[in-house]
Amino acid sequence: MKICISCEKDIEGKNAVPIKEDRIIRTIRSIKKMLRMAKMNELYVCESCVQKHTERRKTFEKHMLFGSVFAGVVIVIMVGAMLFTGKLDLWAFLSAFIVAGVILCLPIFKYAPAIDGSINPAQSAEPPKPKKTPKRVIKKKMR
């Protein structure tokens, strides 16, 4: 069944854009298969939800970028503090990476998958035609 990921409605007969199957979606599907809850729906974004979904995706990407920079800063500060004080402790070193991992996991709660292509009304009717490349014309200089 084809489902819009934003409005969670069936999109049969509507124009829609497919969602990229990335690691997070594959992980969610595998967990649902292990729990025997998987419906194996084909995920799309319908034409009316594309604008809202792209805004959600941009917000997710901003949060992920901020989280990764912040996690890097936390690692640098914690490891730098260990080196500055001269106390090299394995637990403190590992805790820096554990805290950074938790910081990186927080933006995943606002996850919005990427769209695979762009909306095109003729998309479902026929495949796109290849573009013709213009022939290269070489002009000779006249003397």
In a domain, 121, yes or no: no
Asked if residue 86 belongs to a domain, the reply is: yes
**Rounded mean pLDDT of the chain?**
84
Q: Which two tokens stand for residue 67?
A: 């989280």
Residue 79 falls inside a structural domain: yes
Domain count, the chain: 1
Residue of 94 and 1 predicted with greater confidence: 94
Please check whether residue 26 lies inside any domain of the structure.
Answer: yes
> Is 100 in contact with 74 (CB distance < 8 Å)?
yes
The range of the structural domain enclosing residue 82 comes to 2-110
Q: Give the pLDDT confidence score for residue 5 in this predicted structure.
A: 87
Structure tokens at 52: 């809202």
This model's pTM is above 0.85: no
Residue 100 located in a structural domain: yes
